Amino acid sequence: MIFSAPLVTGKLIQRYKRFLADIILDDGRPITSSVPNTGSMLGLTDSGIPVWLSRSDDTKRKYAHTLQIVEAQGTLVGINTGLPNRIAEEAILAGLIPSLADYAELKREQKYGLNSRIDILLHDPQKPSTYVEVKNVHFSRTAGLAEFPDSPTARGAKHLDELGNMVENGFRGVMLYVIQRRDCDRLKICGDLDPVYARAFERAMRRGVEAYAIRCHITSTGIVATSTIPIID
């Protein structure tokens, strides 16, 4: 996933109201940026950290800048939760996850379950359709270890249960975690921050849902999935 234009750089002053951040650009201008992330961004909002932002020329937008990357714990971290679906799609089409390769068709945002939409649907007349739910990961508090979620997510637990239902109806259900940071080589489900999600994950695995994690190489020009990594207990 390549950014359409060069990112601008600055320093974070504060994130507030969840979707906004005050930034000082490196040229000295203070701005307010949109923050495309509904989560807590735990550990990623310290005042003074370097940030990278995209800029839109759309005059209808209230805020021209969008926060894309922060530097935390000595590494670049992608925070835009709108990007993992694109990153995951590119990874699947590139064959990065062998068990998800060689499907005839990839569809986005298809209705399924109970008033839900699946992020990616893989279809092939020669094999069962595969329902892929994509989750963004950027939380780490131990060197080399990514964790999900960083705050309680009832919606995430619901998705796991719905994937289990698809498996029991003869399809494949896949949870794909996209780790938008380049310093982690394994993933763990964060049961201490969201025990309900952890139980839902264990239940989904028992029902036959598959889980994969991919890590990304992040630069100011783009974010690309590079390899799969293990999910540990």
Which CATH number covers residue 167? 3.40.1350.60
User: Among 150, 145, 160, which Cα is nearest to 205's?
Assistant: 160
The residue among 78, 112, 131 that closes a domain is 78
pLDDT grade, residue 115 (50/70/90)? confident
49 and 162 both lie in a single domain? no
Cis peptide before 149 (omega within 30 of 0): yes
Does residue 211 lie within any of the structural domains? yes
User: Among 189, 210, 203, 204, which Cα is nearest to 132's?
Assistant: 210
**pLDDT given at position 100:** 98
CA distance 233 to 231: 7
**The one-letter amino acid at 46:** D
* Domains in the chain, number: 2
Element (H, E) at 107: strand 105-112
Q: What is the CATH number of the domain that holds 59?
A: 2.40.50.580
Domain that holds residue 106: 84-232
> Is residue 204 within 8 Å of 175, Cβ to Cβ?
yes
| Over residues 163-192, mean pLDDT | 97
51 and 99 both lie in a single domain? no
134 and 211 both lie in a single domain? yes
pLDDT tens digits, residue range 127-169?
999 999 999 999 999 999 999 999 999 999 999 999 999 999 9
Confidence (pTM)? 0.95
pLDDT tens digits, residue range 68-103?
999 999 999 999 999 999 999 999 999 999 999 999
